[in-house]
Amino acid sequence: MRNRNTNYISIKESRQILKHNIRQMKYYEALKRRKRNVEDYTTTMRDNNNVVEIDGLKTVFFTDNGTVMSVNGVSFDIPKNKVVGVVGESGCGKSVTSLSIMQLVQAPQGQVVEGQIRFNTDDLGTDEQGRKLAYDIVQMPTSEMYKIRGKDITMIFQEPMTSLNPVFTIGNQMDEVLFVHMPDITAEDAKAHSIEMLEKVGIAMPERVYNSYPHELSGGMRQRVMIAMALSGNPKLIIADEPTTALDVTIQAQILELLKELQKSQGCSIMLITHDLGVIAEMADEVVVMYAGRVIEKGTASDIFHNPLHPYTIGLQKSKPLITSPSDQPLFSIPGQVPNPINLPDCCYFKNRCNRCTEKCNGKYPETVKVSDTHYVACYLYDQEEKHNG
Residue-wise pLDDT tens digits, 129-169: 888 999 999 999 988 898 899 899 999 988 777 889 999 99
Question: Higher pLDDT residue, 2 or 128?
Answer: 128
Residue-wise pLDDT tens digits, 203-233: 989 999 999 999 999 888 998 999 999 988 8
Is residue 3 scored above 60 in pLDDT?
A: no
Residue-wise pLDDT tens digits, 313-364: 999 888 877 777 777 777 788 888 888 888 888 899 999 999 888 888 888 9
Q: What is the mean pLDDT of the chain?
A: 89
Q: What is the pLDDT of residue 87?
A: 94
Amino acid, res. 237? L
Q: What is the pLDDT of residue 388?
A: 45
Q: What is the pLDDT of residue 209?
A: 96
Residue-wise pLDDT tens digits, 246-273: 778 888 888 889 899 989 998 999 999 9
Is residue 6 scored above 70 in pLDDT?
A: no
| pTM, to two decimals | 0.90
Q: What is the pLDDT of residue 304?
A: 94
133-136/110-119 β-pairing: antiparallel
Is residue 389 scored above 60 in pLDDT?
A: no
Residue-wise pLDDT tens digits, 76-127: 999 999 999 999 988 899 999 999 999 999 989 999 999 999 999 888 888 8
Amino acid, res. 92? C
Q: What is the pLDDT of residue 155?
A: 93
Residue-wise pLDDT tens digits, 47-78: 999 999 999 999 999 999 899 999 999 999 99
